[in-house]
Structure 1
Amino acid sequence: MKKYLFLLLGLLLFTISCSDDDDGITNPETPDPTPGADVTVQNFMWKAMNLWYFWQGEVPNLSDTRFANDAEYTTFLEATPDPLDFYNSIQFNEDRFSFSNDDYEELVSNLSGVSKSNGLEFGLIQFSGSNDIFGFVQYVLPDSDASTKDIQRGDIFTRVDGQQLNIDNYISLLFGSNNNYVLGMAEINNGTITDTSKEVSLTKIENFVENPILVSETLDVGGEKVAYLMYNRFLGSFNEELNNAFAQFVADGATQLILDMRYNPGGSVNSSRLLASMIHSTDTDKLYIRQRWNAKIQSQFSAAQLEDNFASGIGNNNTGSPINTLGLNKVYVLATNDSASASELVMNGLAPYVDIVHIGETTRGKNEFSITLVDDPNGDYIYNSNRENQINVNNSWGLQPLVGRNENADGFFDYTDGLPPNIVLQEDLENLGTLGDINEPLLARAIDEIMGAVSKKDFSVKMPAKTFMSSRLMTPLKDNMYLDKPLEINIK
């Protein structure tokens, strides 16, 4: 029997039907653990990764011929009793981004932008020659606990609950199970960070939903209408709001766009396609990106199934609200090392058609997409909200492995070292500015480029905001790029 899976990879749905056709994915019979062996989680992880993982062919322990019999397979699974250690052991050694979660429900919620948060988004920097670190506020989410407190962009903190932050304790202090913590604030004096007596108490709120559109406004710069969009995560649940923002840009007569993704770690592939369409074109015959899967999966798709064209409507198959597009052939993008996955995808997908002026830093270099896998073998491990009752009740683990890469219409996909800027400009801790204000350094530099002005502004950077970690990367969603499009595939 073959199963035709209509996959909406990521968070959406798929359906299953049967057919007598002879073509489909030939998935060799996988081994089964010995009855009674306590390897439920490891067995799920191995079988799901053996089928879907992008580098399945490069990981010897995921080979279809790795085990001579079921007993040998069971011994292998039992050798690593900790599920997290086991999952890490079957990943490709160059895989920087696949991850797991011992609670798939939390994972799924975070893919929708729902999390436990106090609304403070920040970067962390290590003091030179020390294990101590400090944080600086990048932005505060509206309607959050932090938005009601005396804390704002540019503020510095060094302590949590009276303890100096360092490499060893920052995860437990800032990202642990504690719902409340008190930040010890600091200030910059002559290039030196000095503690102050000020403290700010923050509380994490359950089921907080982030609106990724932080700033959306049309600037009047020397008579030119310039749209400015600060977009901080690709979330499908906010596609209509994103389209409405572009409707306002169109109504305002905007002829230029500054797309600010400096803090955007990624998200939905489909949302990136819709954003690209809002920027450039609603021509549904024009190719945006093409997927590449592992050898088991790739050959089973038709060219049309692998290709994502620009969109004319918000819904699947170009249905739903018509897309509001600026029809631009040039766009100014603010992007840094905090910009990853779907952010880079927009830049790469537009590159064959649009002159992209990238201002900031080299991006992170994440060009693979992922899907959500759970212990539902009859659904071939793809998470489906309609099959919740089919998921193994004895296994709550969820996986978010990389399963493919996207290439643009020119066939380019190799940017694992990141996308370099046309104009290098780091953020300055001593002059972060106000987001959306025309004097904020990165925005001001983009405006200068639009106006063709020989600027008298000083864009020198005194204290580079060079982070090693940000608050967004410590959520279950991290810098994930997940595929959420309908695909039909056969699995024998």
Structure 2
Amino acid sequence: MKTKLNKYFVLLLVIGAFSCKKDTVEPANTNPTSLSPNAPANSWVYDQMKEWYLWSDKMPAKDKTDLSLITGKDGEADTKAHYFYSLLNDYPNTDRFSWIRENIADLTASLSGISTSFGFSRTAVFLDNTQTNVVFFVSNVILGSPAEKAGLKRGDIILTINGTQINNSNFSSLIANNETATFGLGEFKNGTYVLSGKTITATKAVVQNNPIQFTKIIEKGNKKIGYLVYTQFLETYDEQLKQVFGQFKNAGVNELILDLRSNGGGRISSADLIASLVVKNLNTNNIIHQDEWNATIKAKYPSVATPTKFSNQPNNLNLNRLVVLTSNGTASASELVINSLRPYMDVIIVGQNTAGKNVGSITIKDEATPVRWKWGMQPIVLRTVNSKGESNYGTKSGFTPDFVVSDNVYPFKPWGDESETLLKKALEVITGVVVPAEASTSRSYRTVEKSAILEEYISDNPADNRKEMFTTIPVK
């Protein structure tokens, strides 16, 4: 029975490196794989990939593939025995972003910013040169999440979970394996991190991310600087986003700092909205971006070649420049905003190299009645370019910052603290005046070497660490 294509098109970033290079696909076994229980699902996967995959011309013939393989299991290190991954083009190099998930419901929930989690992100750092014990520095807490309701906040230090010291072998499992957790908070004392005696207990629950994490207007001389911490491009918050820019405009904001360091992407239409709210000399005839597809799709659906143009936004700030704060996790829709605005205004990047994702995928699922399998797959199907045809950030180096600043001063200072590492530099770029480095509290802050950082800006729910950008388009 013919399946239908979900109308959601997704650009995503896979956080973390994959450890093995895709092996060359061997000819099919002499035993008839059509007898395998995996064959029907794999045949469906192949047919959908052959139609939509950006590199469909690089795929092997179906009869040269092994339909008996496991269909695909997202997140496993060993993907060589998984059919979906065996089809990818030079995975995980040329194609490092296509993926498949066992449950389409979980996939679509994550695209909507919904997860079952405590609701916080952290950076993990080794406590000493032995690289054994680990400390979590809380980098963000989702508004309304169990973590926030329990009192956890950005800047907190976690040393133990349920009484167990965090170390290099349990730093992931202690989070993943506990539905309820008591976090032992720490402090820096006498040259080391020790337990403060304070604990916070939270239970995982369904969490809806509110991407408008923090806003502030900072006045410096004749500069009125809007500051927005935006963590995911979600259409359901577009109206609130417009209201924020309305507040900025009414206050006379003439500079903007867009903090995307923990934003891995989201809906393309929300990225286009931000571009239209920011761009200088807004003109609805100007192109934001255009998408490139394989020849089959361009012939079958000519509308996919139609460029996306700016929309009329009454709260457009008409800025001369935009300052963007970035990290290695800044990806997809975040990078699209940067690339789309560069032909029209100065876009200044402060922070670290971005993830480097200029390609997009579609959500494909089985809608047969009854449903035959619950797989949801995300093959790369398009590449985006700006109005000048530029798309040269699609490497593992991503965008290189104009001002390289390491986000390695711990614990993290509160959002909006003008002495916070990246915000401090952005304010100096805008005003030309050095911002005092002293902390806003009496806490001790340390600069940590890159080699001591185990992972950065990681959510307690692994599914949230995917970087994605998606949109809806008419398929006729």
**Does TM, scored on the shorter chain, surpass 0.5?**
yes
Q: Show CA shifts across 1:6-29 (max 9, x none).
A: 955359xxxxxxxxxxxxxxxxxx
Report Cα offsets for 1:104-128 as digits up to 9, x if no partner. 1121122111221222222233565
Deviation at 1:290, TM superposition (A): 1.1
- In 2, Cα distance between equivalents of 1:142 and 1:461: 27
- Matched with 1:426 is 406
Instruction: Report the alpha carbon displacement of residue 220 of structure 1 after superposing the two structures with TM.
Output: 1.9
Where do 5+ consecutive residues of structure 1 fail to align?
Answer: 12-31, 313-321, 377-389
Indicate the larger mover: 261-270 or 84-93.
84-93
Contact 2:419/2:438 (<8 A) preserved? no
Cα displacement (A) at 1:365: 1.3
User: d(CA) in 1 for partners of 2:436 and 2:110?
Assistant: 44
1:87 to 84, 87, 95: 84
SS of residue paired to 1:77: coil
- Paired residue secondary structure (1:152): coil
Equivalent residue in structure 2 for 1:462, among 437, 443, 447:
447
Q: Distance in 2 between matches of 1:274 and 1:47?
A: 35
| Distance in 1 between residues matched to 2:88 and 2:304, nearest whole Å | 30
CA contact (8 A) 2:51 2:296 kept: yes
Residue 18 (structure 1) aligns with: none
Q: CA deviation at 1:289?
A: 0.8
Shift of 1:283: 1.8
Q: In the superposition, relative to structure 1, how do residues 81 and 419 fare at CA in structure 2: closer, same or farther (>3 Å)?
A: closer
* One-letter amino acid of the counterpart of residue 169, structure 1: N
Whether contact under 8 Å (2:38, 2:70) holds in the other structure is no
Amino acid at match of 1:99: W
Higher mean alpha-carbon deviation, 39-48 vs 247-256, is at 39-48
Partner of 2:29: none
Shift of 1:252: 0.8
Cα–Cα, structure 1 residues 284 and 35, in superposed 2: closer, same or farther, change >3 Å?
farther
How many residues of Structure 1 are paired with residues of Structure 2 in the alignment?
A: 434
In the alignment, structure 1 residue 486 sits paired with structure 2 residue 473: yes
After superposing the two structures, state which structure 1 stretch, 258-267 or 2-11, moved more.
Answer: 2-11
Counterpart Cα distance in 1 of 2:291 and 2:183: 44
Does the 8 Å contact 1:97/1:480 carry over to 2? no
Q: 1:471 is paired with a residue of what secondary structure?
A: strand
Superposed displacement of residue 443, structure 1: 1.5
2:296 is the alignment partner of 1:296: yes
- Does 2:344 match 1:343? no
Matched, 1:310 2:300: no
Instruction: Measure the CA separation in 1 of the matches of 2:245 and 2:253.
Output: 9
Aligned match of 1:380:
none
Deviates more, 1:442-451 or 1:254-263: 442-451
Deviations 1:168-205 (A, max 9, x none): 433332134x4212223333346644455543222111
Shift of 1:78: 0.9
Residue equivalent to 1:256: 255
Q: Report the CA distance shift for 1:47/1:182 in structure 2 as closer, same or farther (over 3 A).
A: farther
Which residue of structure 2 aligns with residue 275 of structure 1? Answer: 274
1:235 alignment partner AA: L
Q: Structure 2: which amino acid aligns with 1:328?
A: L
Q: Which amino acid aligns with 1:91?
A: L
Which amino acid is 1:423 matched to?
Answer: F
1:401 aligns with 2:386: no
> d(CA) in 2 for partners of 1:461 and 1:422?
25
Instruction: Report the counterpart of residue 204 of structure 1 in structure 2.
Output: 204
Counterpart-to-counterpart distance in 2, 1:115 and 1:37 = 31
Evaluate the alpha carbon distance shift between residue 217 and residue 180 of structure 1 in structure 2; reply closer, same or farther with a 3 A threshold. Answer: same
| Aligned residue runs from structure 1 range 182-201, under 5 A | 182-189=182-189, 192-201=192-201
**Structure 1 Cα separation of the partners of residues 416 and 165 of structure 2:** 33
Q: Does 1:242 align with 2:224?
A: no
In the alignment, what sits opposite 2:68?
A: 78
Q: Structure 1, residues 359-410: CA drift from partner, whole Å, max 9, x if none?
A: 111111122222211124xxxxxxxxxxxxx365231111122221111112
CA contact (8 A) 2:5 2:364 kept: no
Per-residue CA deviations over 1:110-168 (Å, capped at 9, x if unaligned) read 21112212222222335655355432101222222222334322222233223343454
- Find the aligned partners of 1:122 and 1:391 in 2 and give their Cα distance: 42
Q: Is residue 340–residue 479 contact of structure 1 (8 Å, CA) maintained in 2?
A: no
Q: Is the 8 A contact 1:191 1:463 kept in 2?
A: no
Q: Name the CA distance, whole Å, in 1 between partners of 2:389 and 2:105.
A: 36
Check the 8 A contact 1:426/1:461 in 2, yes or no.
no
Residue range with higher mean Cα deviation, 195-204 or 249-258: 195-204
Structure 1 Cα separation of the partners of residues 38 and 4 of structure 2 = 32
CA contact (8 A) 2:352 2:400 kept: yes
SS at match of 1:371: strand
> Secondary structure of the residue that 2:447 maps to in structure 1?
coil
Shift in CA distance, 397/477, structure 1 to aligned 2, threshold 3 Å: farther
CA spacing shift, 1:257–1:182, aligned 2, 3 Å:
same
Three-state SS of the structure 1 residue aligned to 2:465 is coil
SS of residue paired to 1:476: helix
CA distance in 2 between counterparts of 1:52 and 1:209 reads 31
Aligned partners of 1:284, 1:183: CA distance in 2, in Å? 50
Seen in structure 2, the aligned counterparts of structure 1 residues 336 and 81 have a Cα distance that, compared at 3 Å, is: closer
Aligned match of 2:162: 161
Structure 2: how far apart are the matches of 1:194 and 1:56?
Answer: 55
Deviations 1:309-328 (A, max 9, x none): 1122xxxxxxxxx4521011
Check whether the contact 2:38–2:69 (CA below 8 A) recurs between aligned residues.
no
1:137·1:153 contact (CA, 8 Å) conserved in 2? yes
In structure 2, the residue matched to 1:265 is: 264
**Percent pairwise identity:** 30
Q: For the residues of structure 2 that align with 1:169 and 1:110, how far apart are their CA atoms? A: 25
1:221 alignment counterpart: 220
**TM-score, normalised by the number of residues in structure 2:** 0.81
Name the SS of the counterpart of 2:131 in structure 1: coil
The one-letter code of the counterpart of 2:84 is: Y
Q: Which runs of 4+ in 1 moved over 6 A?
A: 2-6, 458-461
Separation in structure 1 between the aligned mates of residue 333 and residue 57 of structure 2, nearest angstrom: 25
Looking at structure 2, the residues matched to 126 and 293 of structure 1 have their Cα atoms a distance apart, in angstroms, of 44
Shift of 1:484: 1.1
Of 391-400 and 235-244, more deviation after overlay is shown by 391-400
Q: Secondary structure at the match of 1:481?
A: strand
Counterpart amino acid of 1:296?
T
**Alignment TM-score, normalising by the size of structure 1:** 0.79
Contact 2:350–2:405 (CA<8 Å) still a contact in 1? yes
Name 2:442's counterpart in structure 1: none
| Per-residue deviation, 1:255 | 0.8
Question: Take 1:356 and 1:136, find their aligned partners in 2: how far apart are those partners?
Answer: 30
> 2: CA distance between counterparts of 1:470 and 1:162?
23
Determine whether 1:362 maps to 2:340: no
Q: In structure 2, list runs of 5 or more residues that go unmatched.
A: 12-31, 75-81, 440-444
